[in-house]
Chains A and B, each alone.
Chain A
Amino acid sequence: MKIRFTLNGKNVVLESAPLKRLLDILREDYHLFGTKESCGEGECGACTVLLDGKPVTSCLVNAIHVNGKKVDTVEGLSKTKLGKMLIDCFDETNAVQCGFCFPGFFVSTYYYLLNDGDNDLEKIKKALSGNICRCTGYQRIFDSVKIACARKKVGE
């Protein structure tokens, strides 16, 4: 089937099998390799993208559900002002280890910040509970998000 959607701000048209996973569409058809596959069952969040502005695990979204919608991936979001600021925060606190889960954490945090997330630890934990990291103990990721919240506030 032919699907039309907005990918990182650009209108695109794609001939795709209706059940093809959004994850595979991004990686295979658009060579957007920032979105990672780790568990393939929606548990780990490594393939998180924004679908119409909301975080989804792209391994559980089929082509048919993307039609007419807006998809934002780490490649697009990391180039925004908010995205660049967030990358600096993660870098400064040494939040990243192997990095395989990180584009997913980035997208979830981006969504949290964009939707008035504040530096309340319990809220941050909940916002990131769909993303698994095996290398870190998450503490540095929380620290980064807190810093990012503070900087966003100042920026506003």
Chain B
Amino acid sequence: MGSVRKFDSKPKINGSWKFLDDYQSEDMIYGNIIYSKCHHGIIKDIHFPNDFNISEFTFVYAKDIPGENIVPEPVSDQLFLAVNEVFHYGQPIIGVAHPNKVTLTNFIKKIKIDYEELPAIIDIKECLDNEKNHFGREITIDHRTRDEIQNSWIRHHNVYYMPHQEQAYLEPQGVIAEYDKQDGIIFVRITAQCPYYVKSGVESMMGSAVNDVVIETSEGIGGAFGGKEDFPSLLAGICSLLSYKSGKPVKIVLDREDDIKITTKRHPARIEIESYTDPATKKIEKIDIDYRLDAGAYQTLSPVVLARGVLHTAGGYGFPDSFIRGRLFRSNTPPNGAFRGFGAPQGFAAMEAHIDGIAAEMDITTIELRKANIFNNGDEFPTTQKVTEENLIDCFNKVLEISDYQKKLKSYAQWNKNHKDKKGIGVSLGFHGGGFTGNGEKTLNSEIKVVLEKNAEVKIFVANTDMGQGAHTTLAQMFCEAIDHPFEKTKVQLPNTSKTPNSGPTVASRTIYIIGNLLKQLALELKKKYKFDKLESYIIEHNSEFPLELRKNYIQPTSVFFDEESYRGIAYKDYSWAACVNEIYFHADTYQIELIESWNVLDIGRVVNEQIALGQAEGGILQGLAYGLSEFFYKPGFGRMSGFTDYTLPTTLDIPKIVIEFIHTDSVTAKGLGEIPMDFPAPALRNAFLNATGIIIDEYPLTPEVIYKTIKEQK
């Protein structure tokens, strides 16, 4: 059963699978958001165009909110609708709806808002270089064990900058809200990752004005990558209020320009690393990391991203002495949020570059240095969590072998002597902790429900969404495989908060790792209890006992304990590991890096569905490569991106050959897969450029402009 086909492939290809904008209803009207085009200011006046019949429009302002004007999760500091002051470009001010989509668009274009402008920070470096911009959460991991720095140790110190990255899910954000006046219920259909987050958002907005809120996802969720984790709550709140006020179903679908300009992005980061290495042993004896994230105007999800960030940024190395300080910084840009990797890609982009920097400074190979420091069984994370396996070493050795690294390293060095263009090869390592950080899974206490029907059909009820990652196919597969039940007779239901229990958000590489394994356990318990060989035959024989409803909650093992104060303990029970080798060709005349081949070895434990897993890994790796090579959202003098014309995504012509190998697939546990492919490829690309040219670049992405600027400055 290893490669069961996805049940939704064919309807997606022939266009019959329903995405948010494909849902229609008779009296539905269209909504949108009027948002701030000022970075920071006081709203002085709003001018509506006078060539429209204003009475045809429905407007909602902050004052119309019956409940709280605060998006509740995870940190409640973001407003649904601005009151008098706007704190970032893209901040929603008014919700508006009209029966005609074209009229609505034309109307919004003509609205003018006057602001009294206030000082604003919109540049990444201006935000992150200035300590005064720190706000909100700060985390320290103090694992200092040495008092003295020995004279022979070699100090290496550098600052690395990582840009915004846009999730660029192909289906834009969208929602339909329908207020049923009779029952006082708001029904929301949405393209989102976390139906229960949306529920709590709408409940907060509507307060006691409604009796109940039900959230159901659209059949298709056209990509998300974290981008549909928290922003949908804001959008659903505003849309619900429009429906409540107008009495009609309201649909909001953002157009691409608005979607890019106002939704969450990956956090820009500034990471400063100071290290001391013993030249005799090549062991990095001491490391100090200052990890800063530009949160945007509000904290929202950022404290959680910061937590994962500081827990990953030291990389897969056993440092005997480490100190990590993580902080959030405020700017006047839209709040940054979740994006596949969640703080880890920034951390590895800096640390893996730093490792190559140390090697260059000490004139030793990056392989020697990594081998001297890579996680061995018994090493400790900065949290003091013990490393209990050597799977990262296995990934590393394997990727060097399959990429033929040593041979290429030598031959490229030779080739480079006689050519203006350069060839290069670079490595990087990465890991990703599965599930929520620390005690998060304990708090979530995820619940799943399974209904066994009289005809032996198995219906799985979980709140986890399938946004293209194939989760619903793989979840069904895990239940079936455990007890040898036919896959065709098993179906994951569409997430709906009135039907599916809260099995937690679809984030943190937790869907298969936590929910899938829980389904598997439930299936095995069922088999043990009823002592059947085949579930189907048992149901036929005992038909009167069915339909049967079963529920199960995730219980975090008692061995997992994390101290949120000291940041010590077990941050994640299981880690996925990875190693990468990237090969590049540098065009000296155009300052362009061409990707030639990307080699990736991953340990994600048991691979449930190899085809789906390979597809996931491939897509994540390409996003990671683009993070290192081409994607950024804002540049001084250039402004912010507004569409796919300026925010350039990799096309079929831009991609290298991607080789992927999974190891340790005979493990019992299926570990996290969703995020790790994004975490590690970017620095291997940067290191390949260093290998090719000898030029150190500490700013991502390595665009021709950045390379040109660096070369010019060095001259």
8 Å CB contact of B255 from A40, A74, A90 = A40
- State how many angstroms separate the Cβ of B171 from the closest Cβ of chain A: 4
A136 touches B171 (CB 8 A): no
Measured CA separation A87–B15 after assembly (Å) = 11
Q: Are A100 and B170 in contact (CB under 8 A)?
A: yes
Note all chain B residues with C-beta closer than 8 A to A37.
21
0/1 interface trace, chain B 253-291, chain A, CB 8 Å (1 if under): 001110000000000000000000000000000000000
Report the count of interface residues on A (CB-CB < 8 A). Answer: 54
Q: Is A75 an interface residue (CB 8 A)?
A: yes
Q: Which residues of A contact B171 (CB under 8 A)?
A: 36, 38, 98, 100
In angstroms, Cα B612 to Cα A37, docked, is 26
B653 within 8 A of partner (CB): yes
Using Cβ atoms and an 8 Å threshold, which residues of chain B touch A103?
A: 13-15
A132 CA to B626 CA in the complex, in Å?
14
Q: Tell whether A52 is near chain B: CB-to-CB under 8 Å.
A: no
Inter-subunit contact B170/A98 (CB<8 Å)? yes
- Assess whether B172 is in contact with A38, with CB atoms less than 8 Å apart: yes
Contact B6 A134 (CB under 8 A): no
The contact of B618 among A73, A75, A140, by CB within 8 Å, is: A140
Contact with B along A24-36 (1 / 0, CB 8 A): 0001000111111
A41, chain B: closest CB distance, angstroms? 5
Question: Is the CB of A150 closer than 8 A to any CB of chain B?
Answer: no
Contact among B3, B13, B170, B220 with A134 in the assembled complex (CB-CB below 8 Å): B170
Give the Cβ gap from B484 to chain A, nearest Cβ, in Å: 23
> A139 in the interface, Cβ–Cβ < 8 Å?
yes
Q: Please, what's the 1-or-0 string for A111-147, where 1 marks a CB less than 8 Å from any CB in chain B?
A: 0000000000000111011111111111111100000
Q: Which residues of A contact B468 (CB under 8 A)?
A: 97-100, 135
CA distance A44 to B170 in the complex (A): 8
A38 neighbours in B (Cβ, 8 Å): 170-172, 222, 256, 644
Contact indicator B653/A137 (Cβ below 8 Å): no
Decide if A94 is an interface residue (CB 8 Å cutoff). yes
Q: How far is the CA of A99 from the CA of B219 in the complex (A)?
A: 11
Question: Is the CB of B661 closer than 8 A to any CB of chain A?
Answer: no
Alpha-carbon gap, A106 to B17, bound state (A): 14
A134 x B649 contact (CB < 8 A): yes
Distance in angstroms between the alpha carbons of A32 and B361 in the assembled complex: 61
- Chain A residue with Cβ nearest B24: A31
Residue of A nearest to B223 (CB): A98
* Interface of chain B residues 206 through 246 with chain A (CB within 8 A): 220-225
- How many residues on chain B are close to A (CB under 8 Å)? 56
| Nearest CB in chain B: distance from A151 CB, A | 16
CB proximity of A156 to chain B, nearest CB, Å: 23
- A149 interfacial contact with B, CB 8 Å: no
Q: Is B618 touching A92 in the complex (CB atoms < 8 A)?
A: no
Known: A41-B644, A44-B644, A135-B619. A100 touches B658 (CB 8 A): no
Q: Is B8 an interface residue (CB 8 A)?
A: yes
Mark B162-174 against chain A: 1 for CB-CB distance below 8 A, else 0. 0000011111100
**Cβ-defined contact, B16 with A132, below 8 A:** no
* B-chain residues with CB within 8 Å of residue A33 when the two chains form the complex: 15, 18-19, 21-22
Q: Which of B1-44 contact A (CB under 8 A)?
A: 3, 5-6, 8-10, 12-19, 21-22, 24
Q: Are B644 and A136 in contact (CB under 8 A)?
A: no
> Please, what's the 1-or-0 string for B153-189, where 1 marks a CB less than 8 Å from any CB in chain A?
0000000000000011111100000000000000000
Q: Are A94 and B13 in contact (CB under 8 A)?
A: no
| Interface check A101, CB cutoff 8 A | yes
CB-defined contacts of A43 to chain B, threshold 8 Å: 643-645
B621 beta carbon closer than 8 Å to chain A? yes
Whether B256 pairs with A40 at a CB distance below 8 angstroms is yes
- Residues on B with C-beta less than 8 A from A31 are 24
Docked-complex contact B13 and A98, CB < 8 angstroms: no
Whether B615 is near chain A, meaning CB under 8 Å from some CB there, is yes
A33–B189 Cα distance when bound, in Å, is 17
Known A74-B14, A138-B655: A94·B22 in contact at CB below 8 Å: no
Decide yes or no whether A78 CB sits under 8 A from chain B.
yes
Taking the closest CB of chain B, its distance from the CB of A82, in whole angstroms, is: 13
User: Which chain B residue lies CB-closest to A127?
Assistant: B652
Tell me if B470 is interfacial: C-beta within 8 Å of chain A. Answer: yes
- Interface contact B655-A137, CB-CB below 8 Å: yes
Using A125-B653, A138-B655 as known contacts, say yes or no to A102 and B643 having CB atoms under 8 A apart: no
B692 within 8 A of A: no
| B348 vs chain A, min Cβ distance (A) | 19
User: Max chain B CB contacts within 10 Å: which of A27, A91, A99, A136?
Assistant: A99
> Known contacts A94-B9, A100-B220, A129-B651; is A137 also within 8 Å of B621 by CB?
yes
Chain A contacts for B618, CB-based, 8 A: 136-137, 139-140
A97-B15 contact, Cβ under 8 Å, with A38-B171, A132-B170: no
On whether the beta carbons of B643 and A98 are closer than 8 Å, the reply is no
* A134 x B225 contact (CB < 8 A): yes
**How far apart sit A76 and B9, CA to CA, in the bound complex (Å)?**
18
Contact of A98 among B14, B467, B611 (CB under 8 A): B467
Decide yes or no whether B78 CB sits under 8 A from chain A.
Answer: no
Bound Cα distance A132, B223 (Å): 13
Tell me whether A128 and B619 are in contact (CB under 8 A). no
Contact status A75-B15, CB under 8 Å:
yes
Return the 10 tightest CB-CB contacts between A and B, nearest first.
Answer: A34-B15, A98-B468, A99-B12, A100-B222, A137-B618, A97-B468, A43-B644, A94-B611, A78-B14, A33-B22
Interface residues in chain B, defined as those with a beta carbon under 8 Å from any beta carbon in chain A: 3, 5-6, 8-10, 12-19, 21-22, 24, 167-172, 220-225, 255-257, 467-470, 611-612, 614-616, 618-619, 621-623, 643-645, 649, 651-653, 655, 657-658
Interface contacts beyond A40-B256, A98-B222: sample of 17 additional A-B pairs, CB < 8 Å, sorted by A: A34-B16, A36-B21, A39-B645, A43-B645, A78-B14, A92-B5, A93-B611, A94-B614, A95-B615, A96-B13, A99-B220, A100-B169, A101-B170, A134-B168, A135-B468, A135-B619, A138-B652
Q: Can you list 15 A-B contacts (CB < 8 A)?
A: A33-B19, A38-B644, A40-B256, A75-B14, A90-B13, A94-B612, A98-B224, A99-B12, A100-B468, A103-B13, A125-B653, A134-B169, A134-B623, A135-B170, A137-B619
